[in-house]
Structure 1
Amino acid sequence: MKNFLTVAVVAPIAALGIGTVAQAAVLTFDDIAPIPDLAEIPDGYGGFNWDNFFYKNGSDITALDTGYDNGRVSGDYVSYNGFGNQAILSDRVFDFNSAYLTAAWNDGLSVTVEGLNKGTTLYSKTVVVDTTNPTLVNFDFFGVDELRFTSFGGVEPDYLIGKGLGTQFALDNFTFNETVTPVPEPTLLSALLAVSTLSAGSVLKRKQQQKTLGKA
């Protein structure tokens, strides 16, 4: 009977998908059409719309020993913000878990990442990165439908003088959850629990009545 009561309460919640673990996906930018140098990321890649995001071959001779080269975590390609300006990706609601960031040209580059839902900023995180190594940043932005990346500041290191200039950053191994578990409103959850409890009570009462009749 105890097991039955447990099932009666849990079943409506399970039907709503509460507690479902979202499946994580990683965008490496290595599975877009191969290019010798750079190109815009096409809308639809990873299920997102991309605004001012490009992908670049970090192993190309024009990128060697720069942050584009040093920022490669998997394969040859990294993403970056075109012309050092703000870059945006958006679409459905998702969870943004983490990404590797590397400054393309300026050591001490600041990158601010904002997570929004329906135009309202829910999260904002600023990190400082260099040109020599990728930095893994755990964002943990839950239930967002848009990310805005803005980079600024930093100083060009001596070893890159004459090679390039700007506030671009390299982005690799973008990790996110493809689905977000729907959570019912508190009032709805309370109502479901109440209904489940009443249902379990009714069944228990009927079983007790059947036992009583059986003894008569």
Structure 2
Amino acid sequence: MKRDLLFSGAVVVVAVAGLAVLCGSARAGGAADYYPRRAWGSFEGGQMNTSLLVFRDLNRNGIYDLGDRPMSRVAVELGKPNGSTIMRLTNAGGFANFRMSVMQRDFEVVDPGHYTFRVVPPPGYSVTTGNASQESDYVVSPGSPGDMIAKTTTHPVGLAADMTISGAVAAGSRVSLTGPDGVSAAAQVGPDGRFSAPVTPGEWLVDFATGGATERRHVVVGASPVVLSAFSGKSGPAEKPLPLEHVVGFDDLMTSPGVFEVPSGYGGLNWYNLVAMHQRFTDGPGYTNTTMSGEFIAYNSSGHPAQVFSDKPFDFTGAYFGAGWDDAEGETLVLKAWRGDEPAYEDQLVLSANGLVYFAADYLRITRLEIRTQHYWQAAIDDFAYRTGP
């Protein structure tokens, strides 16, 4: 009996679904009922986005091409026909979106007329594509998703970091930089021992001198500013770097969009309180802006100190760092390293969610590295480079 009732009910549902209702009576439906055509020319009353893409121009060639990445948290200003302006930040995909609709009057683009777009780069960034300001006329177009269209669409805007080599030395130290062209120039050292010099991509030599002690660093400037670890000021023969070079980008740990604790043994090192995730798993703009290779990135879990360690000495070459969240703008990253129980290195650098810096550590023969943020915000980390012995 129970089966008969269920079957009968299914028959009734199917029968009703196969009828079309017209003037209160039911009839069989046809293709015209189930696949109606739109009445073009009438107002849709819906919405769509008018957008502008901002990207990280990694090769600095002024073209949005392969290898370039979206840039999040960039201010884009929309100028309206009435003279007012409104600002939107780019999202994780690099788009600044402005809602457009003729009928929904509380949106950003609602009236036909002349509109302007202006990209305002964050501090330390410059436009490479020459089109920070763009403009277009918008006209009413009934039947389009927002009942309005742009006569011309925007073009991607590329940004690149203003390239510098910076660091900290003892007061009274001298710093000289020699560029790829072989030309040398002295860097100005401030009263606090900090220096920063504009550079171009390529190989650089940085020479330090203080109190009779000298040191030379070989620095490769790529797609981001470089921060050098502190000059030790110690005289004596330099230690030789370990021979085997490694770079981990955390992309081979996982394929899902979740989070994954970096396990000990990854890359031959031990890891504590470091988590890897897809760069867009959260809304933190710094994760998108710090990713350099692949799609995954690491961070210190819950903003608490993380460690990388090994029984065998390793060299920490360097890594890309940024602040994961915009609320952490200006957070201080503290890096400490030990050889056994003996402190060996310590450095601090300022992080930004707008973009990354490369910390050229050159920490030799260490057994433990601590990665800590001063105010317990998450630091984004990519392309962790190190060397090991044979």
Q: TM-score, normalised by structure 2?
A: 0.37
Q: Which residue of 1 aligns with 2:382?
A: 172
In the TM superposition, what is the alpha-carbon distance from 1:20 to its structure 2 partner? 8.3
8 A contact 1:36–1:57 mirrored in 2: yes
1:67 aligns with 2:286: yes
Percent identity reads 27
User: 1:137 & 1:77 partners in 2: Cα distance?
Assistant: 19
2:370 aligns with 148
**Aligned residue identity for 1:82:** S
Counterpart selection for 1:129 from 313, 330, 351: 351
- Measured in 1, the distance between the counterparts of 2:354 and 2:293 equals 16
CA distance in 2, matches of 1:69, 1:95: 27
Q: Which has the higher strand share?
A: 2
Paired residue type of 1:73: M
Give, as a single letter, the amino acid of the residue that structure 1 aligns with 2:320: Y
CA-CA distance at 1:103 after TM superposition: 0.4
What is the distance in 2 between the residues matched to 1:20 and 1:140? 9
C-alpha distance after superposition, 1:146-197 (max 9, x if no partner): 10011024xxxxxxxxxxxx600001001111227xxxxxxxxxxxxxxxxx
3-state DSSP class of the match of 1:36? coil
Runs of 4+ in 1 over 6 A off after TM superposition: 18-21
Confirm or deny that 1:95 pairs with 2:305.
Answer: no
How far does residue 59 in structure 1 lie from its aligned partner after superposition? 2.9
SS in 1 for 2:349: strand
Q: Residue in 2 aligned with 1:114?
A: 336
Whether 1:53 and 2:263 are equivalent positions in the alignment is no
Give 1:37 shift.
2.3
The one-letter code matched in structure 1 to 2:387 is: N
**Deviations along 1:96-146, whole A, 9 cap, x unmatched?**
111000101211010111111112110001111100111101011000011
CA contact (8 A) 1:56 1:68 kept: no
Does the Cα contact within 8 Å between 2:254 and 2:260 map onto a contact in 1?
no
What are the equivalent positions in structure 2 for 1:25-64 lying under 5 Å apart? 25-60=246-281, 62-63=282-283
- Distance across 2 between alignment mates of 1:122 and 1:20: 15
- Paired letter, 2:285: T
- For these two proteins, the number of residue pairs brought into alignment is 149
Letter in 1 for 2:289: N
Say whether the 8 Å CA contact 1:73–1:134 is kept in structure 2. Answer: no
Provide the secondary structure at the position in 2 that maps to 1:68: helix
Conservation of the 8 A alpha-carbon contact between 1:71 and 1:171: yes
Q: 5+ unaligned residues in a row in structure 2: which ranges?
A: 1-238
2-side partners of 1:126 and 1:179: how far apart? 27
Amino acid of the structure 1 residue aligned with 2:342: T
Kindly state the Cα deviation for residue 42 of structure 1 after the two structures are TM-superposed. Answer: 1.2
Gaps of 5+ in 1: 1-17, 154-165, 181-216
Name the counterpart of 2:60. none
Q: Give the Cα separation in 2 of the matches to 1:171 and 1:115.
A: 17
Shift of 1:49: 1.3
- SS of residue in 2 equivalent to 1:33: coil
TM-score (norm 1): 0.65
Offset at residue 21 of structure 1 (A):
6.2
Q: Which protein is richer in helix relative to its size? A: 1
Q: 1:38 to 1:23 in 2, by over 3 A?
A: same
Please report how far the alpha carbon of residue 19 of structure 1 lies from its aligned counterpart in structure 2 after TM superposition: 6.8
Larger Rg: 1 or 2?
2
1:24 to 234, 245, 248: 245
Question: How far does residue 25 in structure 1 lie from its aligned partner after superposition?
Answer: 0.8
